Amino acid sequence: MTAHAAPPQPRLANRRDAFWMPFTPMRGFQSEPMLFESAEGMHYVTPEGRRILDGMAGLWCVNAGHGQPRIVEAIREAAGRLDFVSSFRMSHPAAEAYAERLCAFAPEGIDHVFFVNSGSEAVDTALKIARAYHHARGQAGRTKLIGRHKSYHGVGFGGLSVAGIGRHKAAFGPLLADVAHLPLPYDRATMAFSRGQPEGGASASEALETLLQIHDPSTVAAVIVEPITGSGGVYPPPKGYLERLRAICDKHGILLIFDEVITGFGRLGTPFAAQAYGVKPDLMSCAKGMTNGAVPMGGVLVAGHVYDAFMAGPPETVELFHGYTYSAHPLACAAGLATLDVFAEQDLLGRLHGVLPLWEERAHLLKGAPHVADIRTAGLLCAIDLSPRPGAEGARGGACAKLCYEAGLLIRNAGDTLVLSPPLVIAPGEIETIFTTIEAALARID
Ligand SMILES: Cc1ncc(COP(=O)(O)O)c(C=O)c1O
């Protein structure tokens, strides 16, 4: 008789250990896994067939709704035609077409795009372009970067350095040295329950002048802000704030970067927040909604005058020693082009304007519900701050999100702040479902 080798023992006690998940408490997930098998329109479907209303557009990215046939088909077709081509010293038609269409979608004066694969890469690329811009203009001493309290700019060392969420940085040792942070322009005492932009932006933005009294402005390369603080809890800019940041940056020759990874691609009813607020940055990072979340992609949109500064040297030199193997990946470009088609053909922005008044109205009806301390709405975004349970910060937010999920609604909690960013194709009835579900959950938590 032949002796058979014993079957190999599973190396991991629980096969779910194999996938080390981002920003996830692994051991908690293993005891209560949340799995989705398919998605369509406004809904995810679990392996058991339960339909879950997506209150967060995937992760602020599936703006046109899940499974848009035109995007799915474009990716299929692209994969069969040109699987890959490097963008180092070569290109392909979809990259050129998408770059042109994307720049036309962006504010006037933004004429170039540098393609990357994620929001984190977009932010790090924007920061590097900012420093290199000054270098190219003979001001290599301008290296400092100014971020803001509560901002999220991804997880690269650059983005993490300018970001303003302490717990994201704590474990990773020294970050970029030349960084300072603005305060969050938010004061609950005067700004609570804001619809759109609260008052008080002009004075809040003076914090930049104050910071520049400490950090010699001639050593500062760029100020980076999310036009609306997103992951940190949806804080819209108070009126006049972004305008004043722009003016102060101009006065001191500092570049202004908008991180539009969340606010881009229609979230505020305009292509980007820059158009909604009428303030033009020098550089804009984007990702997420670019491909409707269907293929990883990011980009840095670059104003003409910034790009031109790089083009003054000898023509045979590489102007920017930077890039990624998958920059302008053919599948991502195809998905990006199809996403812009969907925006135009389905008039996503026009449709969104039709539901925004209901969104705002319905959200603010939660004022007075148990534990609600503030509600902020801007475009199709909403944050609901819950007062923390004494001694258990974040517990109420987590409990509320869990009850919502059990009731068929996926929302996100950043600690005790509930954050909502559904697909832009949301119907009035789904808006009603979101807020009645949250209301019912709030009534049940202690
Ligand atoms: C404003 C902002 N910047 C950057 C990022 C990072 O994007 P990614 O996760 O694609 O790297 C995010 C992600 O949520 C974001 O919200």
pLDDT, tens digit (0-9, with 9 covering 90-100), for 334-364? 999 999 999 999 999 999 999 999 999 999 9
Which tens digits make up the pLDDT trace of 71-101? 999 999 999 999 999 999 999 999 999 999 9
Average pLDDT over residues 396-402: 98
Higher pLDDT, 5 or 302: 302
- On the question of pLDDT at 52 being above 50, the answer is yes
144 CA to centre of own chain = 23
Among 288, 290, 300, 324, say which to mutate for ligand 1: greatest number of ligand atoms within 8 Å of CB.
288
Nearest-atom index, ligand 1, CA of 296 = 10
Average pLDDT over residues 377-395: 97
pLDDT confidence bin for 160, thresholds 50/70/90? very high
**Is the CB of 261 within 6 Å of ligand 1?**
yes
- On the question of pLDDT at 10 being above 60, the answer is no
Average pLDDT over residues 143-148: 98
Average pLDDT over residues 166-188: 96
Q: What is the mean pLDDT of the chain?
A: 96
Strands of the 412-414 sheet, one edge to the other: 372-378, 381-386, 417-420, 412-414
**Is the CB of 119 within 6 Å of ligand 1?**
yes
- On the question of pLDDT at 23 being above 70, the answer is yes
Nearest-atom index, ligand 1, CA of 287 = 10
Average pLDDT over residues 150-157: 98
- On the question of pLDDT at 231 being above 80, the answer is yes
> What tokens were used for 314?
């000898």
Q: Please report the pLDDT score of residue 235 as a whole number.
A: 98
Average pLDDT over residues 410-423: 97
Q: Please report the pLDDT score of residue 9 as a whole number.
A: 59
380 CA to centre of own chain = 14
How far, in Å, are 21, 117, 409 from residue 36 at the CA level? 15, 24, 13
Q: Quick one: CA dihedral 12, 14, 18, 21, positive or negative?
A: negative
pLDDT confidence bin for 5, thresholds 50/70/90? low
- On the question of pLDDT at 49 being above 90, the answer is yes
**Is the CB of 379 within 6 Å of ligand 1?**
no
**Is the CB of 226 within 6 Å of ligand 1?**
yes
Q: Please report the pLDDT score of residue 101 as a whole number.
A: 98
- On the question of pLDDT at 1 being above 50, the answer is no
The predicted model scores a pTM of 0.96
The three-state DSSP-derived secondary structure of the chain is CCCCCCCCCCCCCCHHHHCCCCCCCHHHHHHCCCCCCEEEECEEECCCCCEEEECCHHHHCCCCCECCHHHHHHHHHHHHHCCCCCCCCCCCHHHHHHHHHHHHHCCCCEEEEEEECCHHHHHHHHHHHHHHHHHHCCCCCCCEEEEECCCCCCCCHHHHHHCCCHHHHHHHCCCCCCEEEECCCCCHHHHCCCECCCCCHHHHHHHHHHHHHHCCHHHEEEEEECCCECCCCCECCCCCHHHHHHHHHHHHCCEEEEECCCCCCCCCCCCCHHHHHCCCCCEEEECHHHHCCCCCCEEEEEEHHHHHHHCCCCCCCCCCCCCCCCCCCHHHHHHHHHHHHHHHHCCHHHHHHHHHHHHHHHHHCCCCCCCEEEEEEECCEEEEEECCECCECCHHHHHHHHHHHHCCEECEEECCEEEECCCCCCCHHHHHHHHHHHHHHHHHCC
Q: Residue 223 pairs with which residues in a beta bridge?
A: 146, 256
Average pLDDT over residues 129-148: 98
Q: Please report the pLDDT score of residue 17 as a whole number.
A: 83
Q: Please report the pLDDT score of residue 6 as a whole number.
A: 64
Average pLDDT over residues 378-384: 98
Q: Residue 40 pairs with which residues in a beta bridge?
A: 43
- On the question of pLDDT at 167 being above 60, the answer is yes
Among 21, 125, 153, say which to mutate for ligand 1: greatest number of ligand atoms within 8 Å of CB.
153
Q: Are 227 and 261 in contact (CB under 8 A)?
A: no
**Is the CB of 262 within 6 Å of ligand 1?**
yes
**Is the CB of 153 within 6 Å of ligand 1?**
yes
**Is the CB of 230 within 6 Å of ligand 1?**
yes
